[in-house]
Chains A and B, each alone.
Chain A
Amino acid sequence: MVNIEKAPEGIEGPGFMATNLDQVIGLARKNSLWPLPFATSCCGIEFMATMASTYDFSRFGSERPSFSPRQADLLMVMGTIAKKMAPVLRQVYEQMAEPKWVIAVGACASSGGVFDTYSVLQGIDEVIPVDVYVPGCPPRPEQIIDGFLRIQDLAANEPLTRRSSEEYKRLLAKYDMK
């Protein structure tokens, strides 16, 4: 069975439909989020299962995992990030084009997890802004998919002006980014 995404609300008549541009763009973005998997440990293995046939990540529009940050919309950080890795992660994030979203998958990416120690970053939100946190150690594929659906909600409902708003600029400034 094929599910077709419902058209956004609008004024319809014979041969035309008028609606809000934000909603149309949001609909398009939501259903073709290209993820960049940044997998460093066991959460990455769970993501491999998520991508494979049983869970079939592609059915949510992320048909093409982008292994270049330049063409990616969603950075999925899965696994422990050592402090030495932090500048790399930050650079990958900065190379992504707007609009971009970030999921922290698993306890390590969200908070450092069991690695409460000098060499491990205590959550990736120390270096880049995060939109959705997926708990678990590691989370099951269902949980990763749930986190992805939350990103879809964000993408669908994001106003087109958000990325140029003062609030967004303040958020980036907090991370010393432009």
Chain B
Amino acid sequence: MESTITNEVFLQKLTDKFGDAIISSVEDYGMLTVTADSSKNIDILNYLFDEPSLQVQFMTDLTGVHYPEQELAFCVVYHLHSLVNNYRVRFKFFIGGEIPTIASATSVYATANWMERETYDFFGIIFEGHPDLRRILNVDEMVAFPLRKEFPLEDPNRIDKKDYYFGR
């Protein structure tokens, strides 16, 4: 089934409603990616959810990205889906600071609960208003956030790759 909303119409409705909060947009492989002001994330999600002509009521994915060279070093990505309109869209919200913080999407999508815990677990992004923000996949004792770029990929306890085993 074809989508009943086009990217142009979707973007127009979004800019009409939020104006300056929409920073940029790009269309990759036919899918719209909108970058917007991170302080407006819940307003945008609520609008997309409640607007009768859109009904974007399914969250496919929520994750984070780390760009250490940027001032706003963390990105929170939402993949959203309107089942009624067969329309998919991607949202990016960039955040920065020592403790990157963004409002929790759990008030809109219950499914965001575990995905935000995962994003916190791996990137240390704080989701304000999350009912139970603690680690979900890594061991509870872990102090680092392993998917941040400064985190060393290899485990320090590894011994069989030491140089002296290879005569170096």
Q: Is A120 touching B160 in the complex (CB atoms < 8 A)?
A: no
Q: Is the interface of B mostly helix, strand, loop or mixed?
A: loop
Q: Is A116 touching B154 in the complex (CB atoms < 8 A)?
A: yes
| With contact pairs A83-B139, A84-B138 given, residues A118 and B158 touching in the complex (Cβ less than 8 Å) | no
Query: How near does chain B come to A123, taking the closest CB pair, in angstroms?
Result: 8
A122 at the interface (CB under 8 A from B): yes
**Residue tally, chain A, CB below 8 Å to B:** 12
Of all chain B residues, which has the CB nearest A115? Answer: B155
Contact flags A112-151 to B (C-beta < 8 A → 1, else 0): 1000111110110010000000000000000000000000
Q: Is B154 touching A117 in the complex (CB atoms < 8 A)?
A: yes
Q: Which residues of A contact B159 (CB under 8 A)?
A: 111, 122-123
Contact flags B116-139 to A (C-beta < 8 A → 1, else 0): 000000000000000000000111
Q: Is B155 touching A118 in the complex (CB atoms < 8 A)?
A: yes
- Chain B interface residue count: which class? 10 to 19
Q: Kindly identify which residue among A111, A118, A119, A126 contacts B160, using a CB–CB cutoff of 8 Å.
A: A111
Q: Which residues of B contact A84 (CB under 8 A)?
A: 137-139
Interfacial residues of chain B within 140-168, with CB under 8 A of chain A in the complex: 142, 144, 146, 151, 153-155, 157-161
Q: Which residues of A contact B151 (CB under 8 A)?
A: 118
Q: Is B155 touching A122 in the complex (CB atoms < 8 A)?
A: yes
Residues of B in contact with A (beta carbons under 8 Å apart)? 137-139, 142, 144, 146, 151, 153-155, 157-161
Q: How far is the CA of A119 from the CA of B147 in the complex (A)?
A: 11
Q: Is B161 touching A118 in the complex (CB atoms < 8 A)?
A: no
Q: How far is the CA of A135 from the CA of B161 in the complex (A)?
A: 15
Q: Is B155 touching A116 in the complex (CB atoms < 8 A)?
A: yes
Q: Is B154 touching A119 in the complex (CB atoms < 8 A)?
A: no
Q: Kindly identify which residue among A83, A116, A117, A126 contacts B161, using a CB–CB cutoff of 8 Å.
A: A116
Query: How near does chain B come to A153, taking the closest CB pair, in angstroms?
Result: 25
- 10 tightest Cβ-Cβ pairs between the two chains A and B: A122-B157, A118-B146, A111-B160, A116-B154, A122-B158, A83-B139, A84-B139, A116-B158, A122-B155, A116-B155
Q: How far is the CA of A111 from the CA of B157 in the complex (A)?
A: 10
Of all chain A residues, which has the CB nearest B138? Answer: A119
Query: How near does chain A come to B142, taking the closest CB pair, in angstroms?
Result: 8
Q: How far is the CA of A44 from the CA of B166 in the complex (A)?
A: 30
Q: How far is the CA of A83 from the CA of B158 in the complex (A)?
A: 13
Q: Which residues of B contact A118 (CB under 8 A)?
A: 138, 142, 144, 146, 151, 153, 155
Q: Is B139 touching A112 in the complex (CB atoms < 8 A)?
A: no
